């Protein structure tokens, strides 16, 4: 029984690969969507906040300050004044001005300049500012302790001073900086944190339902399904093969986009890959069951294509694939959860945007499996093997 189902599924997957528009619909267009909307929303949204350190002083203490920033968890890019113009667009930067070390050694205040691009994530930038302040205090405290009171301050070029300073700077931080949203709200996913999961959910929904349902309608219309049913195959085997075929299309789509997002576009995938994969599988089962449903109730392939495309786009829109549900009123957010895409997006955001583990996706996955059971049950009951 399993072997027969797998053969039917492989046949559907083979037909999908042979279809000429597949390359465009499953790779080129969705990867373009991820990149375009990710850049419009503020970049990769990775696990570390990026920060460019423009060191115009080029001294021991300016380098020590840059190292302190690195200890704060930033993704640091250090450049000198000569390299500044070649960087292009900078989302966040700290500029250490000339005379930084001399001012500190003479107990004079010296500013550092924090720049934020208007399109950069506001939440990440606020957190970055707090960490920059802590790195500044850490550098000052290390400098003060490395020069005991009552003695002449040592030169920063002195090896003894540098050793004491490095030992003090390496001590565990006594002050911890944490950033979280107050009240009941939560940050609005942006950049790659929104565009990657949204594109995966939308195109999985579109391609899985269209290809799965079209193959089923075509086989009914051309009598192929009737010939398959005449073979010594149980009805459950045939239904299982159709579900697995559509699921394979969806999983292939998601796998391609995850790899492209991570290795081509630098997207952050969260701390729980098993949780992420669990959401993808459960959502794929829901989408493939919908393909069975549409293939059962619609007769002609062109009718299937038009209907499933419109429905998939609608469910994607109200489910948070075009814009985050966090930006719409509560009643729209509630209504949006009639779409399985909304539950998939809840699971994706829990892992990618909010750093949760696999436990946070249990409820969305159970609801997606409920959608799969309902659509599979209706589709299996209504499907006729011949037109």
Mean pLDDT score, 238-260: 89
Measure the CA–CA gap between 305 and 57, rounded to whole angstroms: 63
**pLDDT confidence band for 14 (50 / 70 / 90):** confident
Q: Which of 42-51, 110-119, 185-194, 348-357 has the highest mean pLDDT?
A: 348-357
140 burial type by CB count under 10 A (0-12 exposed, 13-18 middle, 19+ buried): middle
Q: What is the pLDDT of residue 184?
A: 47
DSSP assignment letter at 90: -
Cα radius of gyration rounded to whole Å, the chain: 28
For residues 349 and 209, the answer to whether their CB atoms sit within 8 Å is no
Q: What percent of the chain has pLDDT over 70?
A: 85
Q: What tens digit of pLDDT does each residue of 155-173 get?
A: 787 888 888 888 888 887 6
Residue 52 phi/psi, 5° resolution? -95, 125
Measure the CA–CA gap between 102 and 108, rounded to whole angstroms: 8
What domains appear along the chain, each with residue ranges and CATH number?
2-43+190-382 (no CATH), 50-169 (3.40.1710)
Coil, helix or strand at residue 75:
strand
Q: What tens digit of pLDDT does each residue of 26-72 get?
A: 788 888 888 887 766 555 444 556 788 889 998 988 888 888 888 77
Q: What tens digit of pLDDT does each residue of 120-132 get?
A: 666 677 777 877 8
- Give bridge partners of residue 55 from the DSSP assignment: 96
DSSP character string of 260-290: IIIIIS-----S-HHHHHHHHHHHHHHHHHH
Would the pTM of this model clear 0.75, i.e. be above it?
no
Q: What is the pLDDT of residue 209?
A: 93
Q: What is the pLDDT of residue 369?
A: 97
- Start-end of H helices in 93-158: 100-105, 122-145
> Which of the pair, 142 or 377, is modelled with greater confidence?
377
For residues 79 and 53, the answer to whether their CB atoms sit within 8 Å is yes
Mean pLDDT score, 309-331: 90
Q: 77-91, 213-227, 264-278: which range is least confident on average?
A: 77-91
Query: Hunting for tokens 């003060």 — which residue is that?
Result: 144
């Amino acid at each position: 029984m399993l072997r027969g189902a797998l053969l039917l599924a492989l046949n559907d997957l083979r037909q999908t690969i042979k279809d000429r528009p597949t390359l465009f619909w499953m790779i080129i267009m969705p990867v373009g969507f991820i990149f375009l909307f990710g850049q419009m929303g503020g970049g990769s949204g990775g696990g570390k906040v990026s920060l460019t350190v423009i060191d115009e002083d080029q001294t021991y203490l300016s380098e020590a300050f840059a190292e302190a920033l690195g200890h704060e968890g930033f993704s640091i890019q250090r450049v000198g004044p000569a390299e500044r113009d070649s960087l292009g667009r900078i989302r966040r930067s700290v500029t250490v001005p000339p005379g930084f070390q001399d001012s500190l050694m003479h107990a004079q205040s010296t500013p550092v300049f924090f720049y934020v691009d208007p399109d950069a994530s506001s939440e990440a930038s606020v957190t970055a500012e707090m960490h920059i302040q802590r790195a500044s205090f850490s550098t000052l405290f290390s400098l003060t302790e490395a020069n005991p009171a009552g003695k002449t301050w040592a030169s920063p070029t002195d090896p003894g001073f540098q050793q004491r300073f490095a030992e003090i700077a390496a001590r565990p931080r006594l002050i911890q900086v944490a950033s979280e949203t107050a009240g009941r709200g939560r940050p609005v996913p942006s950049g790659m944190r929104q565009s990657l999961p949204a594109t995966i959910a939308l195109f999985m929904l579109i391609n899985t339902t269209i290809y799965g349902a079209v193959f089923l309608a075509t086989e009914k219309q051309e009598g192929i399904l009737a010939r398959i049913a005449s073979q010594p195959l149980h009805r459950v085997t045939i239904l299982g093969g159709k579900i697995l075929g559509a699921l394979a299309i969806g999983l292939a789509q998601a796998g391609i986009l995850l790899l492209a997002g991570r290795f081509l576009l630098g997207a952050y995938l969260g701390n729980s890959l098993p949780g992420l994969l669990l959401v993808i599988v459960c959502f794929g089962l829901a989408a493939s069951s919908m393909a069975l449903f549409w293939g059962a109730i619609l007769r002609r392939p062109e009718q299937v294509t038009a209907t499933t495309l419109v429905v998939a786009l609608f469910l994607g829109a109200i489910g948070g694939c075009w814009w985050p549900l966090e930006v719409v009123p509560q009643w729209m957010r509630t209504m949006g959860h009639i779409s399985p895409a909304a539950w998939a997006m809840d699971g994706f955001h829990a892992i990618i945007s909010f750093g949760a583990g696999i436990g946070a996706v249990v409820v969305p996955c159970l609801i997606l499996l409920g959608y799969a059971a309902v659509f599979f049950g209706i589709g299996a009951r209504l499907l006729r093997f011949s037109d």
